[in-house]
Amino acid sequence: MSLTEKNAKILLQVAKKSILNGLETQQPLQVKPSDYDEELRQIRATFVTLEINKQLRGCIGTLIAQRPLISDVAYHAYAAAFSDPRFPKLQRSEYPTLDIHISILSPPEPMTYESEEDLIQQLRPGIDGLILSDGFHQGTFLPSVWESLREPRDFLQHLKQKAGLPSDYWSNTIKLERYTAEYIS
């Protein structure tokens, strides 16, 4: 799915308005999906990433589609600004300097592989987002993480660490799913 340019701009506007609404009311912007184009009412999973001067300032999203795209973006823009546990709540003075990036995810697909080496060979740098899970451990990297971790082996090792596992961890119970993302900024 590739959004029209008009709808991509609408999503960015809604994300900005939701953050501004959060600064004013401590609540995300409430959108009415029926007021928007069919493309923006589709049930989709998103992540909203905030940056200031190319430095991460918040990133929140979901891997499983639960609500209309327009509502998901409004919710996650607010959450990225005010609920990312890695950062303090966004301050009004930071708002004008925010860069907003929206990732619209495809549904995750289970991967099949014979070994870690087989898995590494299947990875598509710059294309695949990955979800790794094993028992209570879980982590994901959006496809945009390939910009800083270009080698498939490094990508996988860092994802294991993000999931709370050693970088050299491997077991027969490890599960990986891949997805792609459409980016709007």
**What distance lies between CA 121 and its chain's CA centroid?**
24
pLDDT tens string 1-53: 689 999 999 999 999 999 999 999 999 999 999 999 999 999 999 999 999 99
pLDDT above 70: percentage of residues in the chain: 99
pLDDT tens, 81-93?
999 999 999 999 9
Among 109, 27, 14, 26, smallest CA distance to 69 is for 14
- d(CA 65, CA 71) in angstroms, rounded, equals 11
CATH of the structural domain 5-105, one choice from 3.40.710.10, 3.30.420.40, 3.30.450.20, 3.30.700.20: 3.30.700.20
CATH of 109-180, one of 3.40.50.300, 3.30.1490.150, 3.30.470.20, 3.30.9.100: 3.30.1490.150
**b/e string for 80-104 if b means 16 or more Cβ within 10 A?**
bbbebeeeeebeeebeeebebbbbb
Question: Residue 46 and residue 104: Cα distance in Å, rounded?
Answer: 5
